[in-house]
Structure 1
Amino acid sequence: MVPLFFAAHWALSVFFQSLFQHRYAAHRMYTMKPRTERALHLCTALVQGSSYLDPRAYALLHREHHAFADTKRDPHAPTHHGNPLRMMRETARRFEGLLTRRLRSEPRFEGGYPEWPFAERVFNHWTSRVAFGTLYTLFYKRFATRRWHWALLPAQFVLGPIHGAIVNWCGHRYGYRNFGTRDESRNTLPFDVLCMGELFQNNHHARPASPNFASRRFELDPVWHALRLLSRLKLVRLQSSPTSRGGSAPEATSALAA
């Protein structure tokens, strides 16, 4: 039961991170009605739980990443960090500064992301994170049948940062390249169900406005197919074609083209 719970939480957490924080908040690859946005925002917060990622801070950090990819100004460039843990620490510091507004991003990165003060107050507060962590722990206490099951629990507390670290470390170090971008982005897996298409980093950096992160016939991007379904159900409206190049949200176009 515990491994299934961990696997389901992993898949759903990275799915909503890719769908909502990345493709919507950071890039605005699709639009939707305010009520649908709130519903998706709430689902994302409940699923991510203790590792909920604030959409505004996520969008700002990610736009900086595109503008300064693999340079010293990139908030998470593996080429400038000795190991993934060091990269995660520096990314967390920058994210926390943007979240609390102690640090400011450039004006060109501002705007175009969802803001919901109520959800931000509730799910960014330490009490909510502790409450979710307590629920996970109680589940393990009830259903863990092997000692090694408990080794999964610490990772479950911080799934969001772990997903980000995997994508940014592996997606800029290991794999193949379809496009000759100016950065070190790579496609780590040809069938990316581990990170729901996020490991097609070379495709994404070459075509940052495309809602489909896959480029070749053998590549599989699960979130793109979910977006196609949502579009057919008229819950979202795609902003660009799957092969378009260029920027993302209008406010960040110049940043992503840098």
Structure 2
Amino acid sequence: MAILILVGFLWYASLFFQSFFLHRYAAHQTYTMSKTAEKITFILTWICQGPSYLSAYGYGIMHRMHHAYTDTEKDPHSPTYDNTLFAMMWKTKNIYQDINNKRITVHQKFTKNIPQWKRFDQFAGSRGSRIFWIITYTLLFAFLTTTWWQWLLLPVLFLMAPIHGVIINWFGHIYGYVNFKTTDTSKNLFRFDFLMMGEAYHNNHHKHSTRANFGGVHWYEIDVTYLIMRLLHNIGVIQLKMSAIKA
């Protein structure tokens, strides 16, 4: 039971910071926050994503490219142009690393106002940092596991961020329903997004990419990440942009 609680906590903690910080802040800038809060959020993202830490710079640029080139050959991740799930994610990994390491030229429109903390990213994305988290998670499993099958969950923790990406960028373009006709294959995976905290309302998001709330088209489309963002806004941690609320 303890292992399931640990995995569940890390699943949603990692997912929250990917959605809240990397996606809705770095890529779409639906809210603002102080530089101190931003740096604290960088650190919390590292703690919660562990060995699969993604930089706001690399993620933000790549996600903007995804919206600009959805379902075309220039899309960093598209089931339309990648034959298998694994091929898509390998391509995504390579593009992400090329962006982070400045191996490719990126148009200025994709880099505008992207948050970056170079020294911290070098540390958090380093091999040493990833090995530290792998060892930490393995020791936790050694202490908490009560049966053999629970060890099968350990690789999930190692690859948490890529798994989140696969669910949305592969399955969210193949399965589900649509509220809006768009020029791409984006779909909403679930009526109530219990698994991805609002990220699975992918069709809604592609139709209104600047909205802070990915749900809300129907009463059952509850975006949990947005509800937390409203709370953080109300207590003054972040400031939601009016344009992102009304978009």
Provide runs of 4+ in structure 1 moved above 3 Å.
Answer: none
State the partner residue of 1:104: 105
1:229 to 222, 231, 237: 231
State the partner residue of 1:128: 129
Residues 124-179 of structure 1 deviation map (CA, whole Å, 9 limit, x = unaligned): 11100000110000001111111111111112111001101111111111111111
Tell me how far apart the structure 2 counterparts of residues 185 and 243 of structure 1 sit (CA, whole Å): 22
1:169-248 equivalences under 5 Å are: 169-214=170-215, 215-239=217-241, 240-244=243-247
Tell me how far apart the structure 1 counterparts of residues 220 and 165 of structure 2 sit (CA, whole Å): 24
1:63-142 equivalences under 5 Å are: 63-142=64-143
Query: CA RMSD for the aligned pairs?
Result: 1.0
Tell me how far apart the structure 1 counterparts of residues 245 and 79 of structure 2 sit (CA, whole Å): 28
SS at structure 2 position matched to 1:171: helix
TM-aligned CA deviation for residue 99 of structure 1: 1.3
Return the structure number with greater relative CO, CA threshold 8 A, min gap 6. Answer: 1
SS at structure 2 position matched to 1:97: helix
Structure 1-normalised TM-score? 0.92
SS at structure 2 position matched to 1:231: helix
Q: Does 1:154 align with 2:193?
A: no
Tell me how far apart the structure 2 counterparts of residues 196 and 162 of structure 1 sit (CA, whole Å): 14
SS at structure 1 position matched to 2:77: coil
Checking the alignment, whether the CA contact within 8 Å between 2:192 and 2:222 is kept in structure 1 is yes
Tell me how far apart the structure 1 counterparts of residues 54 and 244 of structure 2 sit (CA, whole Å): 27
1:26-37 equivalences under 5 Å are: 26-37=27-38
Letter in 1 for 2:219: R
Tell me how far apart the structure 2 counterparts of residues 164 and 172 of structure 1 sit (CA, whole Å): 12
Checking the alignment, whether the CA contact within 8 Å between 2:176 and 2:188 is kept in structure 1 is yes
SS at structure 2 position matched to 1:174: coil
Structure 2-normalised TM-score? 0.96
Tell me how far apart the structure 1 counterparts of residues 218 and 113 of structure 2 sit (CA, whole Å): 30
Checking the alignment, whether the CA contact within 8 Å between 2:30 and 2:210 is kept in structure 1 is yes
Checking the alignment, whether the CA contact within 8 Å between 1:212 and 1:243 is kept in structure 2 is no
Tell me how far apart the structure 1 counterparts of residues 140 and 198 of structure 2 sit (CA, whole Å): 29
SS at structure 1 position matched to 2:87: helix
SS at structure 1 position matched to 2:152: helix
Letter in 1 for 2:57: R
% identity of equivalent residues: 38
User: Which stretches in structure 1 are left out of the alignment for 5+ residues?
Assistant: 245-258
Residues 15-60 of structure 1 deviation map (CA, whole Å, 9 limit, x = unaligned): 1100000000001000011111111111111111111001000011
State the partner residue of 1:24: 25
TM-aligned CA deviation for residue 243 of structure 1: 4.2
Checking the alignment, whether the CA contact within 8 Å between 1:193 and 1:221 is kept in structure 2 is no
Q: Indicate the larger mover: 95-104 or 60-69.
A: 95-104
